Structure 1
Amino acid sequence: MKFLVKVLCICFVLTGCKEKTQNEVLVLGTIHGGHYTQEEFDLDVLTKLIKEIDPDVILTEIPPDRFQEAVEGFKRDDSISEPRVIRFPEYKDVIFPLSKTMNFEIIPTAGWTLPMAQERQRKLRAISRDSSRTKDWQEYLNANRRSDSIMRATGNRNDPYFIHTNTYDSIYNIRLQVYNRLFNVELGLGGWDNINIAHYWNIEKALQKYKNQGKRILITYGAGHKGWFLKELRLRDDIKLLEMKPFLDKIQVSE
């Protein structure tokens, strides 16, 4: 009997240790330039939200080959000048400035490259003008309209509460499923599944690097990527996925 109790105690301790060392992971869907114009999710809200989350690590939609230049420019001029990173106010105006007063590590994880983006743009333009692809292009446009219509009827696409719901992901996925089915293979590295695989490969490397270290890891990407990432993250048993709502609630109360 004493032996059984001892075994149970050991199991309890081991289980408790495992739970304590699991990393907490959140996926924050951003609206890029919309943070400048949308009051409900402006730079101030984003700043308060990241402060409330208080991450140890932030995995960003910054390509690794652009990161060092962005860091050096920020150290030199106290601002971001790197052409790709400057497009994202969440980094230029929030995360890099916060890094001066908060203790988190910024890790670039985007699979984006300029040649890939240029090739995708060229191929999409060609498809839109190809008379033999009229049916496909129209199906894609119709899916966009249907997604937009349902989004307008269901919630405010710029509201951080709505963005961080499964409903938002499902509605956004109406357009993405069609886009992916019709064009993913044809667009090569710029296809929807393909680019998300490239992003997630880098994200997964970072998750493995810090596996079971009890850190809070924040993933920041455009909101459209959130559903794709969450689908993969939910397959992991070494992390604890946190909801965004409790953190949004806290900053609402503090205002």
Structure 2
Amino acid sequence: MRSFLLIIISMMTMFSGCHQKKSNGSTPEKTRMNEVLVLGAIHRKHLTSEKYGTETLKNLIRQINPDVVLTEIPPDRFDAAMNEFLEKDTITESRVSRFPEYVHVLFPLLKEMDFDIIPTAGWTKQMADARRKKLQEISQDSTRQKDWQEYLTASQKSDSVSKAQGQDDDPYWIHTDAYDEAVEIWASTYNRLFNDELGPGGWDNINKSHYSHIEKALNDHQNQGKRILIIYGAGHKGWFLRQLRKRDDINLLEMKPFLDQL
């Protein structure tokens, strides 16, 4: 009888240990900070780039091996895209199909990897249409040509600084603070001149909307010991990193060590 009880106690101890800890036997999952990475995508250029094509992006995500991926997909478009992928092995949903990083990379990786996709974009069609219309009006308004020219000059300067330091499809260059600083040249000018006028489509405004969804997802997964990958257009990366660096409950990882493994 005593031997039987010892066996039962031993089994209960083993089960408790497996339940509380990850496979590496380290700190209980509930007390571990999440690891977070921000991946800057180049959208349609992934289809033609030799340095940062879809296969390179696939291999990079394999190396990162995320548990959760936060995406530039609006929540109200995600179910349609996922259902299309599951039923037809393709995605035609208009807001998602424009992003090769999702259609040709992320969704197909679900067949071989285990991660959750969470849509976090603050984009809406109404916002995008209103922003496009307002920018066109500003560009054609004779009283706003000084502002418009200042914006164009900042965009050109941003491009020239970026090209002087790296190629726009080089993933190493894209994942540097210097790249974010080059983007900020046009983004800060665009934001200062037009953010309030563009309403929800302004630069700060849309980033705040995106980040509110990202922040909710991070809060929902707080201290779960997960690796969370954020995939957005590279221009958003610097804005997000400035916010993420304010958090003390996550471990922000650099992209370079994962690029080095490709």
Q: What TM-score, normalized to structure 1?
A: 0.91
Q: Greater Rg, structure 1 or structure 2?
A: 2
* TM-score in terms of structure 2 length: 0.88
- Aligned-residue CA RMSD (Å): 1.2
The reply to whether residue 140 of structure 1 matches residue 156 of structure 2 is no
Q: Quote how far apart the aligned CAs of 1:182 are.
A: 0.2
Partner of 1:183: 194
Say whether residues 1:248 and 2:259 are aligned partners.
yes
Opposite residue 135 of structure 2, the aligned amino acid is L
Which SS does the other structure have where 2:51 is aligned?
helix
Q: 2:131 aligns with which of 92, 117, 120?
A: 120
Q: Secondary structure at the match of 1:84?
A: helix
C-alpha distance in 2 between matches for 1:192 and 1:42: 27
Q: Could you tell me how far apart the structure 2 residues matched to 1:236 and 1:81 are? A: 36
Q: Which residue of 1 aligns with 2:240?
A: 229
Write the mapping of 1:94-243 to structure 2, written as runs, cut at 5 A: 94-243=105-254
Per the TM alignment, residue 81 of structure 1 is displaced from its structure 2 partner at its CA by 1.4
**After TM superposition, where is structure 1 displaced by more than 3 Å over at least 4 residues in a row?**
16-20
Q: Can you list the C-alpha shifts for 1:179-225, whole angstroms capped at 9, x where unaligned?
A: 00000000000000000000000000000010000000000000000
How far has the Cα of 1:157 moved from its partner? Answer: 1.5
Change (3 A) 1:165 1:20: farther
Mapped to 1, the partners of 2:122 and 2:150 lie a distance apart of 27
Structure 2 Cα separation of the partners of residues 164 and 137 of structure 1 = 29
Ranges in structure 1 where 5+ consecutive residues have no aligned partner = 1-15
Amino acid at match of 1:248: L
- The alpha-carbon deviation at position 226 of structure 1 amounts to 0.1
Contact 2:29 2:224 in 1 (8 A): no
Task: For structure 2, list consecutive stretches of 5 or more residues without a partner in the other structure.
Answer: 1-26
User: Could you tell me which amino acid in structure 2 is paired with residue 232 of structure 1?
Assistant: Q
Question: 1:46 corresponds to which letter in structure 2?
Answer: L
For 2:261, what is the secondary structure of its paired residue?
A: helix
Q: Distance in 1 between matches of 2:125 and 2:178?
A: 32
Letter in 2 for 1:179: Y
The alignment partner of 1:202 has SS state of: helix
Counterpart of 2:163, as a letter, is R
Q: How far apart are 1:17 and its partner, in Å?
A: 6.0
Please tell me whether residue 66 in structure 1 is matched to residue 72 in structure 2.
Answer: no
Q: Does 1:23 align with 2:38?
A: no
CA–CA separation in structure 1 for the residues paired with 2:86 and 2:164: 45
Superposition deviation, residue 104 in structure 1: 0.1
Structure 2 residue identity aligned to 1:68: D
SS of equivalent to 1:40: coil
**1:91 aligns to what?**
102
Sequence identity (%): 61
Once residues 76 and 148 of structure 1 are traced to their aligned partners in structure 2, the CA distance between those partners, rounded to angstroms, is 41
Partner Cα distance (1:17, 1:235) in 2: 25
Letter in 1 for 2:62: K
Distance 1:78 1:32 in 2: 20
Shift of 1:19: 10
Provide the aligned length of Structure 1 versus Structure 2.
Answer: 236
